[in-house]
Amino acid sequence: MFRHYFGTKLISKGADISVVKELMRHEDINTTMKYVNISDKVLKDHYDEYQENFEK
């Protein structure tokens, strides 16, 4: 349970998935993706941020 929380928290704070993969010592990025749940709010926040930067 702690591993799942750790991975999810890192991603929600903006950590790159490849960094999380290394920190969790996964051999395959797909294993890391199973641990990480990206909430709708986090997804929308990132989308909005990238959209703003794209429009500049």
What is the domain partition of the chain in residue ranges? 2-55
pLDDT in the model for residue 24: 92
pTM assigned to the model:
0.62
**Segment among 1-5, 15-19, 21-25, 33-37 with least mean pLDDT:** 33-37
pLDDT in the model for residue 56: 65
Residue with the larger pLDDT of the pair 47 and 56: 47
Residues 6+ apart with CB under 8 A from 28: none
In this predicted model, what pLDDT tens digit does every residue of 38-51 receive, in sequence order? 667 777 888 888 88
